[in-house]
Amino acid sequence: MRLMVLIASTRVGRAGGPVGAWVAESARQAEDVEVDVVDLAEFALPMLAEPNHPRLKAYTSELTWEWSRRVEAADAVVFVLPEYNHSYSAPLKNAIDHLHGEWAGKPVGLVSYGGLSGGTRAVVALRPVLVNLGMRTLAANVEIAWVAEHLVDGVFLPSERHERALAAHLVALAELVPAVDTV
């Protein structure tokens, strides 16, 4: 499985980098998983600047074409997303809105983090967008409450519950990826 781990926060001092690194490293431990990490703090898409509707796939920017190729190459995606003001981040919405057909049918997992809610409200706000684009979401997501308590020297230290939840999440996500026929 070619898995994209997309880190959706671009804020300086964010928890997204360490949480995303944990997700990517956990995914790499699975057999037959190739991981592509996209950190939106580094893969700096401009605010939607394409003149044509994304469903036309008539992109004018090489960066948008690169983004399109990376999403198309992924068999599944895990969004690592914070909760900001009871919703998800603007960079994530922008990254999603840059494309259209590339998302169709794509299995997607959600690893959210925040304070008390663990990012639940961000997930609730994001799900209708994903459904509208034809993405296939898992019924459950991985939620990390009080994420700052799990950060030590810039590293995310998951609890056993986090580890179990992510392992189950990755297995469930892989089950949504169609098997490749080798005949």
Close Cβ partners of 12 (under 8 Å, ≥ 6 residues apart): none
| pLDDT over 60 (residue 180) | no
Domain regions of the chain by residue span: 2-18+40-176
| pLDDT over 80 (residue 147) | yes
Q: Yes or no: say if 105 and 134 are a contact pair by the CB < 8 Å rule.
A: yes
* Beta-bridge mates of residue 82: 113
| Coil vs helix vs strand at 31 | coil
Show the tokens assigned to 93: 């919405």
Name the pLDDT band for 49 (thresholds 50, 70, 90). Answer: confident
Which pLDDT score, from 0 to 100, does residue 100 have? Answer: 96
Over range 107-129, report the average pLDDT. 96
Over range 105-126, report the average pLDDT. 96
Q: Tens digits of per-residue pLDDT, 64-114?
A: 999 999 999 999 999 999 999 999 999 999 999 999 999 999 999 999 999
pTM (predicted TM-score): 0.94
Q: How far apart are CA 90 and CA 96, in angstroms?
A: 10
Which pLDDT score, from 0 to 100, does residue 178 have? Answer: 81
Q: How far apart are CA 110 and CA 123, in angstroms?
A: 7
Show the tokens assigned to 56: 């036309």
Q: Tens digits of per-residue pLDDT, 26-48?
A: 999 988 899 999 999 999 899 99
Task: Place domain 2-18+40-176 in its CATH homologous superfamily.
Answer: Flavodoxin domain (3.40.50.360)
Q: How many CA atoms lie within 13 A of 171 on its CB side?
A: 6
Which pLDDT score, from 0 to 100, does residue 170 have? Answer: 96
Mean pLDDT of the chain: 94
Which pLDDT score, from 0 to 100, does residue 30 have? Answer: 87
| pLDDT over 60 (residue 182) | no
